[in-house]
Amino acid sequence: MTGPIAGMLLVAAAYLIGAIPWGYLIGRFHGGIDLRAVGSGGTGATNALRTMGRGASIAVLVLDFLKGAFVVLAAGWLGFGHWWQAAAGIAAVAGHCWSPYIGFKGGKGVATGAGAAIALCPLVALVLPVLAVVVWATRYVSLGSLVGAGLATIGTVILAVAGRTPWSTAIAVAMISAIIVWQHRGNISRLMTGTERKFGEHIAA
């Protein structure tokens, strides 16, 4: 059954799966660190890198990416159409950013958003090298994330106009990117004032 009720249950499940706070959980197992209380306060891979090191950060990055991809792919496996798959991806990112498990706090949505977007449109993966180059050149993860989100949106809209991907995908990627930009509003302000932390800066937990 893939009707409206099943679809709403899918979206709710996607939100709860996306809300699994891997960064928070890994931090708790990594010396009892609460990522919400250190560094940027986010539970994503960047704050994990600054407070727990590379190994923990990679684990958070992979797990957050996989939960975004999983909900979209699972929706397809269960027979849901493109619009429901898109809704599941958006819900997973929302869950990651505002997790009910940890007081509706969370991360910036980049890894989970990337997982969902790439599952919806594999060509979005072409944005990742550009993101990496921006981070390498500027040492600002936030700037790379914002550039990546913008390019992913532009790219999927172009593909939708050309009939190469469903409009549901372009709209979902745009909404995911909007969430990412909103979550980076503090970073944008710091980038403008030159006070943004650079990649690799360590913060004592």
User: Which one, of 118, 126, 108, lies nearest residue 178 by Cα?
Assistant: 108
In a domain, 200, yes or no: no
Tens digit of each residue's pLDDT (9 = 90 or more) over 87-107: 999 999 999 999 999 999 999
- Give me the domain span that covers residue 172: 4-193
Total structural domains in the chain?
A: 1
54 has a pLDDT exceeding 80: yes
88 vs 42: which has the higher pLDDT: 88
In this prediction the pTM is: 0.93
In a domain, 159, yes or no: yes
DSSP SS3 for 97 = helix
In a domain, 33, yes or no: yes
Instruction: Using CB atoms within 10 Å of the CB of residue 191, give its burial: 0 to 12 exposed, 13 to 18 middle, 19+ buried.
Output: middle
In a domain, 114, yes or no: yes
In a domain, 167, yes or no: yes
In a domain, 203, yes or no: no
